[in-house]
Structure 1
């Protein structure tokens, strides 16, 4: 069972996708919290425990993913939380543009929707367990 420093925060406005991601990651042993928009995501980020990883959709109601990243960047504590963008649009960007965006907002990785479950799990393990100081595939 994975040991992360906190839950995985899934920020996704599509309830079907959100529930599928949550169910899959929970079956893999991860604690999960969910938010349906950027404002809810920031509320979760202000409430302990701090997530080990944020899976962030960019096209969100109320507050989009870009504004979530901007708020995260402004907070020293939140800036340490790895972010994986899960978005069809961002993944379609030119690789150079994606690299610049990732560098500016400290984005760990991009996953394209629909995401292949094995790729999702590998990415979540890599970044959520890394933030806990655990190497994937090893025991703490």
Structure 2
């Protein structure tokens, strides 16, 4: 899968675990990316529908209110946000298979920082200078 590089450098992290959100945000910001966060799929949809266009959404699968699969189904049905790239980030032992079933790539938790930054760079391009 070849990703189109986008210059915005904004990553939307969607995870109900505040520690995961904070850790991902810190790693990405220290690396030069901008980060927005949402605690569940519904919040993420609201963010996207408000006009925010990240170069990548890092999506957890298991969340309250609206899980990752429900988010992806709604995202794909909305032409305004359907093309926003999404990668599943989950502790589920079948993350690769579940991501593939959704037409996405997957990263397993705990996340290898080098793998994360390589993936984000592929979708978002190199980070912006500080």
TM-score, normalised via structure 1 length: 0.79
Q: Does 2:35 align with 1:32?
A: yes
Greater per-residue helix proportion: 1
> Where in structure 2 are the equivalents of 1:1-140 lying within 5 Å?
4-5=7-8, 7-89=10-92, 92-93=93-94, 98-99=99-100, 101-103=101-103, 107=104, 109-129=105-125, 136=126
Q: Which runs of 5+ in 2 are unaligned?
A: 1-5
**In the comparison of the two structures, how many residue pairs are matched?**
123
Question: Between Structure 1 and Structure 2, whose CA radius of gyration is higher?
Answer: 1
TM-score, normalised via structure 2 length: 0.84
1: CA distance between counterparts of 2:97 and 2:57?
23
2: CA distance between counterparts of 1:116 and 1:42?
27
- Secondary structure of 1:5's counterpart equals coil
Greater per-residue strand proportion: 2
Instruction: Point out 4+ residue stretches in structure 1 off by more than 2 angstroms.
Output: 3-6, 92-99
RMSD, aligned CA? 2.2
Q: Which has the higher contact order (CA 8 A, sep 6+)?
A: 2
